[in-house]
């Protein structure tokens, strides 16, 4: 099933409410870009590729709801929606990329407003379908890096739930498993929202892939004792030099892997690479509400004392020097990333032209 899709019957956006998993699988429907922005901000939908496609459909909803009679007013309505959507999660570059792609499609068309409304929906649907195809290509490339019998440490959730379908880093693991390789996954809890233990573990159960959940701070132990052979995680934005922003905790995991000579791979579509940023220090890091940290309970009791404060950055930046390679839909990129990343992006452009 797709985590994000257009509902032809209700003429609105349908998504899995990921806040309820694994206890409940529930689909929710949204009719306005404001509602979609709220869903992105509140992590009803999460994962850079899924956020991007959801935002693209958010622009399409703005188009369907617009009462504009001319193109100028119509674009104004879409731009207002775009600003709301882009502000929902500032770190993930896919969100801005997807929104701008839909806007540019409209701006470059000479069609009347009635046809432009259809065009926005067609563009968003095209992006959703492309996301699935791109993920499957990444999975094929990345699965070659996983050997028979490997134990892989995986951080956060990068599966079908984080994309339209299939997944990035977890998609690689799934493809390796379905290719017949016997592998095991150590699933970081990924605090404070526990996307690993809630979402990744749930997905692995659906696929029949063996796994164990571990606390985030146990990863170093498994790496130091040789009980893990690979580390895989996704990405929310990558700078031109290969520095990558991903879910908080990725940096510490990569450091521990690097210290123990364990390969570290980030898996991402080329749309996540931001060539306008020379290094990862320029990537905006979202800081979320402290309640996500302070609200954690243990055995039914609050963990934090009343009156405590907290800091809650949602992402950190892993320096390119800690990465063994970068898995994209056009192949695996190896250092020097400053030289090789532009080549893989060019490969993406050539592939799109070939289509």
pTM: 0.91
Q: Looking at the structure, do residues 120 and 162 belong to the same domain, yes or no?
A: no
| Domain termination residue (choose one: 104, 135, 166) | 135
Query: Considering the domain boundaries, does residue 140 fall inside one?
Result: no
What pLDDT, on the 0 to 100 scale, is given for residue 350?
Answer: 43
What pLDDT, on the 0 to 100 scale, is given for residue 1?
Answer: 81
Positions annotated as catalytic residues are: 236
Q: How far apart are CA 48 and CA 10, in angstroms?
A: 26
Q: Looking at the structure, do residues 156 and 303 belong to the same domain, yes or no?
A: yes
What pLDDT, on the 0 to 100 scale, is given for residue 354?
Answer: 36
- Give the residue numbers spanning the domain of 23: 4-135
CATH, residue 257? 3.40.50.10470
- Which secondary structure element, helix H or strand E, spans residue 6, and what is its range? strand 4-7
Q: How far apart are CA 198 and CA 279, in angstroms?
A: 32
Q: Looking at the structure, do residues 150 and 254 belong to the same domain, yes or no?
A: yes
Q: Looking at the structure, do residues 15 and 75 belong to the same domain, yes or no?
A: yes
Q: How far apart are CA 136 and CA 171, in angstroms?
A: 7
264-267 vs 151-154, strand pairing mode: unpaired
| Domain termination residue (choose one: 135, 164, 191) | 135
What pLDDT, on the 0 to 100 scale, is given for residue 91?
Answer: 85
Of 70, 93, 130, nearest in space to 238 by CA: 93
Q: Looking at the structure, do residues 181 and 305 belong to the same domain, yes or no?
A: yes
pLDDT tens string 48-84: 899 999 999 999 999 999 999 999 999 999 999 999 9
Q: Looking at the structure, do residues 27 and 64 belong to the same domain, yes or no?
A: yes
Q: Looking at the structure, do residues 159 and 119 belong to the same domain, yes or no?
A: no
Q: Looking at the structure, do residues 120 and 155 belong to the same domain, yes or no?
A: no
What pLDDT, on the 0 to 100 scale, is given for residue 42?
Answer: 94
Q: Looking at the structure, do residues 173 and 129 belong to the same domain, yes or no?
A: no
All residue ranges of the chain with pLDDT < 70 are: 348-355
Contacts of 158 (CB under 8 A, 6+ apart): 47, 167, 168, 169, 170, 171, 200, 232, 233, 234, 267
What pLDDT, on the 0 to 100 scale, is given for residue 348?
Answer: 56
What pLDDT, on the 0 to 100 scale, is given for residue 90?
Answer: 86
pLDDT tens string 104-131: 999 999 999 999 999 999 999 999 999 9
The total number of structural domains that make up the chain: 2
Q: Looking at the structure, do residues 100 and 218 belong to the same domain, yes or no?
A: no
Contacts of 281 (CB under 8 A, 6+ apart): 243, 317
Query: How many other C-beta atoms are found inside a 10 Å radius of the C-beta of residue 286?
Result: 17
CATH, residue 36? 1.20.120.420
């Amino acid at each position: 099933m797709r985590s994000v899709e257009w509902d032809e019957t209700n003429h609105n956006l349908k998504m899995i409410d990921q806040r309820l998993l694994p206890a409940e699988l529930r689909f929710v429907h949204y009719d306005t870009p404001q509602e979609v922005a709220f869903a992105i901000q509140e992590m009803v939908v999460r994962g850079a590729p899924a956020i991007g496609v959801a935002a693209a459909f958010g622009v399409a909803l703005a188009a369907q709801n617009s009462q504009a009679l001319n193109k100028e007013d119509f674009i104004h309505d879409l731009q207002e929606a775009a600003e709301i959507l882009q502000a929902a999660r500032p770190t993930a570059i896919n969100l801005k990329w997807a929104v701008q792609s839909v806007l540019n499609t409209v701006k470059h068309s000479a069609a009347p407003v009635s046809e432009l409304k259809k065009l926005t929906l067609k563009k968003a649907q095209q992006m959703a379908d492309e996301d699935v195809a791109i993920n499957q290509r990444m999975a094929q490339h990345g699965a070659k890096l996983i050997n028979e019998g490997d134990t892989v440490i995986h951080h956060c959730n990068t599966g079908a739930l984080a994309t339209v379908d299939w997944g990035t880093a977890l998609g690689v693991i799934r493809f390796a498993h379905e290719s017949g390789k016997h592998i095991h996954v150590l699933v970081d809890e990924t605090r404070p929202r526990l996307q690993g233990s809630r979402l990744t573990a749930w997905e692995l159960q659906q696929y029949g892939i063996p796994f164990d959940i571990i606390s985030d701070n146990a990863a170093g132990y498994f790496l130091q004792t040789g009980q893990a052979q690979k580390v895989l995680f996704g990405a929310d934005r990558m700078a031109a030099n290969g520095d990558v922003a991903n879910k908080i905790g990725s940096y510490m995991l990569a450091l521990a892997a690097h210290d123990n000579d364990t390969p570290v791979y980030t898996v991402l579509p080329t749309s996540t690479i931001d060539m306008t940023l020379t290094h990862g220090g320029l990537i905006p890091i979202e800081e979320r509400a402290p309640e996500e940290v302070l609200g954690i309970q243990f055995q039914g009791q609050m963990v934090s004392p009343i009156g405590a404060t907290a800091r809650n950055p949602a992402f950190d930046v892993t320096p390119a020097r800690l990465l063994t390679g970068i898995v994209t839909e056009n192949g695996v990129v190896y250092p020097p990333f400053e030289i090789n990343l532009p080549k893989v992006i060019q490969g993406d452009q050539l592939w799109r032209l070939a289509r």
